[in-house]
Structure 1
Amino acid sequence: MEFILYLAIILIATKLAGALSVKLGQPAVLGKLLAGIIIGPALLGWIHPDDFIGHFSEIGVLLLMFIAGLETDLDQLKSNWKASFAVALGGILLPFVGGYGMGKAFGLTSGQSMFLGLLMCATSVSISVQTLKEMNKLQTREGTTILGAAVVDDVVVVILLAVMMSVLLPVSDVSIGLVIGKKLIFFAVVLVAGWLLVPRFLKWFEPLKVTEAVMSAGLIVCFAFSYFAEEMGIAGIIGAFAAGIAISQTKFKHQVESKIEPIAFTLFVPVFFVSIGLHITFDGVGEQLWFIILLTIVACITKLIGGGVGARLTGFDNRSSLAIGAGMVSRGEVALIIAASGLESGLLLQKYFTSIVLVVILTTLITPPLLKMTLKERQRA
């Protein structure tokens, strides 16, 4: 019954830390992330990462992105596709150069430095989504551009990873054509399913004489899309986001959204926030302190400027561009997945793995206050 105690501690810690964070003028999500560090192995050691935490947090991030999809204005997403591409491109080029330069400066080989550069290109906007939602900015032009850019970023980075592994590894069975083909299949299937199948599926479930039939149908679509995304080599959060957009085009949008939010934000999303902090450990950090500090600075500045320049070139003013760049800073679970892949293939040295995890988590912690600060400046203007 230990997991019951874990849940109680997580819920108490996240709610109290979130409330304190708001009182101090910061987004609630920052307090929830810090709660994970406090109650995790780094400090108090009350909770340690395990399969239970892992499964609950995975559901939490999928539901968070599913809700983001439900709340996304599809017309605005379509009208901002050029900006999303530009932001994603800027948020890939500059971080890659910065990461490669850091690798060479610390004596890594060219291949290892290229992988570090690719790692810095990753973006995960699940934390930005929560911050934007708290500030009622998720449906703004800036919020929609950040979401669109994150989708493009994820696809491009996965393709670049396949290219890099096929070139750098002596024996690699990675087929670049297959990787690109799977991405195209995913978007084609999701587009057709979202347009033709999802509305019919929800209508078919609606008259069933069972409890919460429509909401259950919505969850089935969310998890099915997420699983399909993973099978096609794309992050599950992109599948969940696509499922939310598909359902948002039906008459069931508000019904699903109103029922799913209490479940997500009461139980699963808090576990996701805490799980990020649970990966923090300070063992051996002293030996690589400068590497962690400098790489964190490079990671933040390159995304901020790269994404911001992309936004500026597509018509956003300076303040909005800065806010969009800030929303792209968090590397989150996407970078952790790439890091694990690099460790397994030998492109990332074992001694740097913990440091990379710390950098990823630090970028995630920096994003909420940075995003709030830039959006507040925009609001004042």
Structure 2
Amino acid sequence: MHDIAILAMIWFSVFIASYLAHKTKLTAVLWYLFFGTLMVNIGLLPQEMPIFIKDFAELGIIIIMFALGFEEDSGHFVKSIKRTWGIALFGALAPFAIAYTAAINFWGDANMALMCGLAMTATAVSLTMVSLKSMGLNRTEAATGIMTSAVIDDIASLALVAILVPLATGEAMLTLDGILLIIGKAVSFFAAVIFIGGWLFPKSSGALKYIPIIGTLNLRRILAMAEGEYAILALLLIAVLVALLAHAFGFHPAIGAYMAGLIIHKSYFDFDQSQQKDFYKQAREMIDNAAFSWIGPVFFVTLGTQLIFDSEVFLSVLPEALLLFVGLFFGQILSAGLAARYTGHFGWPASWLIGFGMLGRAELAFVVMEIAYVQHKIMTTEAFYTLMLTAFMLNISVPLTIGWWKKRFADAIPKTE
């Protein structure tokens, strides 16, 4: 099948999924995942997606995360980090311990259990944020808490991947130098983002404005080119470049895209008042359309294609998958929810929303599974399918639990300004 034909089929499923989401009042993300799984298992989509579709899907998650960061206020984000350290810590330790213990009891292999614990640690923040967006909850304090704690979790999980995979494969020993290198990469990446935000974006570049050429550059001038005609192109280019910077430092590109959106302010679009046009609102609408209507959904449909049904294997691992799902479901909600309440001092409605929002498992989980199962053969087929099925059930739980909670307590969940 031609790559463009595959994309056309995915877009058709996105159209149907969006219609069904409107009719059923369920978030469209759930339907995207469903159609991806359905089409790959009935043979309409290939089990191994072509590079074009994989790259298109990755571009989708980059634009989604940029759009979410673009909507967020950087001051709220920084303030939220101080508030969400406990959510990140306890919300990661609990699922790691549950998955590790379960894997040891199921298969008795310490290295495989280590990879299972690691795969189930990081939250699929993109799935949660899109679910919150579709329900009008993405501007709540709880959403910011989920995003910041999930970013911290992802950074810690990526560090653990770099440390634990070589240990599990026997290729390396745990050393202080290796740990310091990973910490140094994290610090360097965020320092680079802060530098970009402090130099390229503001109207005045401080001491840097006296440097030839560099001092004359700022985002406001770039956005104002041709009366704002190239503003969207400039924004998407920044999103992709910072995503690539994150990837170069060993992090998921989506983290970089979110940070890029976070350090862009509304004031940068106030460059041509004579037209009486809200350039910021126009940019937001165009970015959101790409992120949530036609490019971003490809990521979720493609994610759904990861679950290939092999009846014999699935039936054999179903008891383990259900037990692991139940353990992670309650363990994640309780650990993140209680941490949000007692370390972050969120109200109970927001705390439980944070617990529900931390349930998803996607990008990093599949990265760890691919490393452990495909690259290094640490994980058995049974363990791989168990984690895949568990992750799928957890992902379905995100929009369902958030939707259920919204109907009861949305009015009690404070919103950010």
Aligned to 1:315: 345
Matches of residues 53-68 of structure 1 in structure 2 within 5 Å?
53-68=53-68
Q: Distance in 2 between matches of 1:212 and 1:260?
A: 14
Q: 1:345 to 1:15 in 2, by over 3 A?
A: same
Aligned to 1:304: 333
| 1:246-299 superposed Cα distances (whole Å, 9 cap, x missing partner) | 113642354432222223333211211210111111112122111222222223
Matched, 1:45 2:21: no
Q: Distance in 2 between matches of 1:335 and 1:250?
A: 37
Q: Distance in 2 between matches of 1:207 and 1:17?
A: 37
Aligned residues of 1:202 and 1:214 also touching (Cα < 8 A) = no
Q: Distance in 1 between matches of 2:385 and 2:11?
A: 27
Letter of the 1:323 partner, please give it.
Answer: L
Matched, 1:278 2:305: yes
Q: Distance in 2 between matches of 1:259 and 1:282?
A: 37
Q: Distance in 1 between matches of 2:251 and 2:299?
A: 19
Which has the higher mean CA deviation after the structures are superposed, 315-324 or 157-166? 157-166
Aligned residues of 1:90 and 1:306 also touching (Cα < 8 A) = yes
Q: Distance in 2 between matches of 1:241 and 1:97?
A: 29
Aligned residues of 2:335 and 2:355 also touching (Cα < 8 A) = yes
Letter of the 1:107 partner, please give it.
Answer: W
Q: Distance in 1 between matches of 2:290 and 2:229?
A: 13
Q: 1:334 to 1:122 in 2, by over 3 A?
A: same
Which has the higher mean CA deviation after the structures are superposed, 255-264 or 301-310? 255-264
Aligned residues of 1:215 and 1:256 also touching (Cα < 8 A) = yes
Aligned to 2:171: 171
Which of the two has higher C-alpha Rg? Answer: 2
Letter of the 2:336 partner, please give it.
Answer: G
Gaps of 5+ in 2: 203-216, 270-279, 413-417
Deviation of 1:316 (Å): 1.8
Q: Distance in 2 between matches of 1:201 and 1:267?
A: 30
Q: 1:190 to 1:250 in 2, by over 3 A?
A: farther
Matched, 1:336 2:353: no
Q: Distance in 2 between matches of 1:173 and 1:195?
A: 39
Q: Distance in 1 between matches of 2:266 and 2:187?
A: 22
Aligned with residue 193 of structure 1, among 193, 196, 210? 196
Aligned residues of 2:141 and 2:350 also touching (Cα < 8 A) = no
Deviation of 1:242 (Å): 0.2
Letter of the 1:258 partner, please give it.
Answer: E
Matched, 1:290 2:319: yes
> 3-state DSSP class of the match of 2:107?
coil
> 3-state DSSP class of the match of 1:80?
helix
Residue identity over aligned pairs, in percent, reads: 28
> 3-state DSSP class of the match of 2:137?
coil
Letter of the 1:163 partner, please give it.
Answer: I
Aligned to 1:75: 75
Aligned to 2:264: 247
Letter of the 1:290 partner, please give it.
Answer: P
Aligned residues of 2:63 and 2:290 also touching (Cα < 8 A) = no
Letter of the 1:196 partner, please give it.
Answer: W
Aligned residues of 1:87 and 1:307 also touching (Cα < 8 A) = yes
Aligned residues of 1:292 and 1:355 also touching (Cα < 8 A) = yes
| 1:319-368 superposed Cα distances (whole Å, 9 cap, x missing partner) | 22111011111111111012122232444334422332232222222211
Aligned to 1:145: 145
Matched, 1:118 2:121: no
Letter of the 1:80 partner, please give it.
Answer: S
Aligned residues of 1:73 and 1:144 also touching (Cα < 8 A) = no
Deviation of 1:210 (Å): 9.3
Letter of the 2:138 partner, please give it.
Answer: L
Q: Distance in 2 between matches of 1:24 and 1:258?
A: 25
Q: Distance in 2 between matches of 1:211 and 1:380?
A: 38
Letter of the 1:223 partner, please give it.
Answer: V
Deviation of 1:47 (Å): 5.0
Aligned residues of 2:128 and 2:398 also touching (Cα < 8 A) = yes
Letter of the 1:181 partner, please give it.
Answer: G
Which TM-score applies when normalising by structure 1?
A: 0.92
Q: Distance in 2 between matches of 1:52 and 1:160?
A: 30
Aligned to 2:29: 29
Letter of the 1:42 partner, please give it.
Answer: N
Matches of residues 213-228 of structure 1 in structure 2 within 5 Å?
213-228=230-245
Q: Aligned residue pairs: how many? A: 380
Cα RMSD (Å):
2.2
Letter of the 2:253 partner, please give it.
Answer: G
> 3-state DSSP class of the match of 1:247?
coil
Letter of the 1:189 partner, please give it.
Answer: A
Aligned to 1:231: 248
Aligned residues of 1:67 and 1:244 also touching (Cα < 8 A) = yes
Aligned residues of 1:10 and 1:271 also touching (Cα < 8 A) = yes
Matched, 1:349 2:380: yes
Letter of the 1:337 partner, please give it.
Answer: V
Deviation of 1:152 (Å): 0.5
Q: Distance in 2 between matches of 1:27 and 1:319?
A: 20
